[in-house]
């Protein structure tokens, strides 16, 4: 994922990729996943500064336990999600983000940046579980995979996804186009 809110590429391998092999290095994993992990945390509701910090903390944990992690992509999202929840509930304040951070894409297209900001603001209007399920979905996971990671039923995932989509559609529906 190159930019904030970019959808997963169509030609990418399925999210539920097989367990990593001995040939997978942490450095390869880091380079491939750090941007997507930051995006995932923003979709969860973190601001950019917190998302960057949490992604880095998660990657440090992944490095320390690399030999024992079988599915690193899902592991990183699960750990980062938990770190985010702890940060939100503890109401910690984030430090100012360095605008030159190599983890963040440089936005040259103002219209695109404004659109992405609107999407993030819309996601933040959702209740926690709906926002959580949407973040996993936007990151390319299927409901069955999300259910497994969040330890809830696939039906609960689908229900929350449905409610989230309805709520988002109601927010973006133009006035006069039907019930709000």
Residues 123 and 157 both lie in one domain: yes
pLDDT at 164 over 90: yes
| Residues 160 and 166: beta-carbon distance below 8 Å | no
Residues in Cβ contact with 71 at an 8 Å cutoff, skipping those fewer than 6 apart? 17, 19, 20
| CATH code for position 126 | 1.10.10.10
> pLDDT at position 34, please?
95
Domain with 133 in it: 105-175
CA distances from 68 to 58, 110, 151 (A): 15, 43, 21
Q: What is the pLDDT of residues 125-161, one digit of tens each?
A: 999 999 999 999 988 999 999 999 999 999 999 999 9
Q: Give the closest residue to 69 by CA, choosing from 30, 20, 25.
A: 20
Residues 57 and 34 both lie in one domain: yes
Q: State the chain's mean pLDDT as an integer.
A: 80
Residue predicted with more confidence, 9 or 165: 165
Residues 159 and 137 both lie in one domain: yes
Residue 154's SS3 state is helix
Rounded CA separation 6/49 (Å): 19
Residues 55 and 89 both lie in one domain: yes
Residues 112 and 51 both lie in one domain: no
> pLDDT at position 109, please?
65
Q: Give the closest residue to 134 by CA, choosing from 162, 94, 102, 172.
A: 162
Evaluate whether residue 87 is within a structural domain.
yes
Residues 115 and 140 both lie in one domain: yes
Evaluate whether residue 17 is within a structural domain.
no
Where is the domain boundary, 49, 65, 95? 95
pLDDT at 82 over 80: yes
Q: Is pTM beyond 0.85 here?
A: no
């Amino acid at each position: 994922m190159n930019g904030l809110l970019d959808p997963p590429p169509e030609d990418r391998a399925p999210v539920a990729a097989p367990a990593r092999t001995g040939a997978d290095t942490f450095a390869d994993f880091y380079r491939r996943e750090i941007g997507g992990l930051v995006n995932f945390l923003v979709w969860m509701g973190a601001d950019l500064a917190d998302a960057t910090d949490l992604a880095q903390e998660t990657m440090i944990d992944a490095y320390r336990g690399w030999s024992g992690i079988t599915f690193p992509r899902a592991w990183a999202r699960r750990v980062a999600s938990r770190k985010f929840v702890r940060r939100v509930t503890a109401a910690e304040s984030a430090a100012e983000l360095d605008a030159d951070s190599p983890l963040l894409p440089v936005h040259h297209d103002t219209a695109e940046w404004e659109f992405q900001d609107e999407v993030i603001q819309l996601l933040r209007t959702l209740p926690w579980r709906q926002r959580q399920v949407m973040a996993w979905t936007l990151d390319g996971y299927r409901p069955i995979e999300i259910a497994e990671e969040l330890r809830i039923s696939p039906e609960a995932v689908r229900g929350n996804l449905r409610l989230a989509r309805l709520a988002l559609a109601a927010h973006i529906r133009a006035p006069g186009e039907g019930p709000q």
